[in-house]
Chains A and B, each alone.
Chain A
């Protein structure tokens, strides 16, 4: 039997997921990290981006996290997110539409907008898109 490890995802608003899993892939501070059972203890911040969880029954759970922390202990993984949205709650066409609108806003030199805000929004949207695109990617 394949090894599993307990994993728990909580956002500041609500409890999202907990259960035995086979693998987690998260966007840590310096890039994506994959964690299998038996990983050595690790502590890191999370960048805004997707987190893939492959459960023990070979189903996947994907969330978009807006940032947070991940803690790996020998027998548990805790993910604390500032906010978490499940991939099932995201709508690809809506995200694309919002992304196009933001890009247009950036190209329009006359529009009076705060660049940093638009760029932050844009990076959030592309992370969300990445979350959506990864559905089914890591399943065997």
Chain B
């Protein structure tokens, strides 16, 4: 059995770890509230614009627009959104796993993949597995991301798409279901997916007030911005929620270990006292 002193040192070191994890839990909880607000406020807009782009993909004029035309798939692009920091349980790992599964699916079909990585964790992960298909890396986004900062890196991939170097673009992020469940999601953002729930028997078109190609261009640009921004805010909320849970578990585990060690410590202390008493009694009776 370890000595009293060693156990005491161990307990105090675990206690300080516990303090750190419980502080991190509180910080994550307050950040999660903000991140969640940001996410919910954008959700309506991004889902509506997704719906509208689903309608647009059916219209006659749009069918010839480069962002709508379905080309034979030779190369695909992935925008992978991860967190900048760790200590959020399996959040990033699950997402990378899902992305890699997708990549392998395309590889088996002889389709090349290109990556655009957002967040330090994605950057270090894909570098560590030796990916040589990374197009762009963005790691300097804060907790309240600005669309302008984001769009710079994404632009490279969209330009490749315009030049027909990439035929499909997917976005991989964690979807916020609730503060306990985060769902890794891979979703196609380009070309636009036609809304399959509505059957359009005949070809039809909108009345356009201005040049349709220009209008579609600016609408789709807005669509892309909102989809990517929304994915980012979702992922942000997920990160904070996952970290909060991970830190809560860590704090609970620390508490259990401390309780166990306290028992061992008490036993050890009692054993020394008993031993000392019996030694004294033994000594006294010998006199």
Contact residues of A with B, CB < 8 Å? 8, 10-15, 28-30, 33, 40-45, 69, 71-73, 78, 80
Contacts of B59 in A (CB 8 A): 41, 43
Q: Name the CB-closest residue of A to B229.
A: A12
Q: Give the CA-CA distance A59 to B205 in the complex, in Å.
A: 32
B52 close to chain A: CB less than 8 A: yes
Contact across chains for B209 and A30 when beta carbons are under 8 A apart = yes
Contact across chains for A29 and B209 when beta carbons are under 8 A apart = yes
Contacts of B42 in A (CB 8 A): 12-13
B255 close to chain A: CB less than 8 A: no
B207 close to chain A: CB less than 8 A: yes
Contact across chains for B207 and A78 when beta carbons are under 8 A apart = no
Contact across chains for A41 and B206 when beta carbons are under 8 A apart = yes
Contacts of A41 in B (CB 8 A): 59, 204-207
Indicate which residue in A12, A45, A72, A73 contacts B215 across the interface (CB closer than 8 Å): A45
Minimum CB–CB distance for B166 against chain A, Å: 26
Q: Name the CB-closest residue of B to A28.
A: B209
Q: Given A12-B226, A69-B222, A73-B55, verify A43-B45 contact (CB < 8 Å).
A: no
B210 close to chain A: CB less than 8 A: yes
Contact across chains for B45 and A44 when beta carbons are under 8 A apart = no
Q: Name the CB-closest residue of B to A14.
A: B41
Residue interface bits B14-43, CB-to-A below 8 A is 1, else 0: 000000000000000000000000000110
B219 close to chain A: CB less than 8 A: yes
Q: Name the CB-closest residue of A to B209.
A: A44
Contacts of B4 in A (CB 8 A): none
Contact across chains for B45 and A30 when beta carbons are under 8 A apart = no
Minimum CB–CB distance for B197 against chain A, Å: 13
Q: Name the CB-closest residue of A to B38.
A: A13
Q: Given A10-B48, A12-B45, A12-B226, verify A71-B210 contact (CB < 8 Å).
A: no
Q: Given A10-B45, A14-B41, A14-B44, verify A80-B207 contact (CB < 8 Å).
A: no
Residue interface bits B112-143, CB-to-A below 8 A is 1, else 0: 00000000000000000000000000000000
Instruction: Give chain B interface residues in 33-68, CB to chain A under 8 Å.
Output: 41-42, 44-45, 48-49, 51-52, 55-56, 59
Residue interface bits B212-230, CB-to-A below 8 A is 1, else 0: 1001001100100010000
Indicate which residue in B45, B55, B215, B219 contacts A11 across the interface (CB closer than 8 Å): B45
Contacts of B206 in A (CB 8 A): 41-43, 71-72
Minimum CB–CB distance for B148 against chain A, Å: 14
Contact across chains for B44 and A43 when beta carbons are under 8 A apart = no
Contacts of B207 in A (CB 8 A): 40-43
Q: Give the CA-CA distance A12 to B49 in the complex, in Å.
A: 10
Contacts of A40 in B (CB 8 A): 207
Minimum CB–CB distance for B238 against chain A, Å: 21
Contacts of A33 in B (CB 8 A): 209
Contacts of A28 in B (CB 8 A): 209
10 cross-chain CB contacts under 8 A: A10-B44, A11-B45, A29-B210, A41-B59, A41-B205, A43-B207, A43-B215, A44-B209, A69-B222, A78-B48
Contact across chains for B205 and A78 when beta carbons are under 8 A apart = no
Minimum CB–CB distance for A132 against chain B, Å: 25
Contacts of A30 in B (CB 8 A): 209-210
B202 close to chain A: CB less than 8 A: no
Contacts of A13 in B (CB 8 A): 41-42, 45
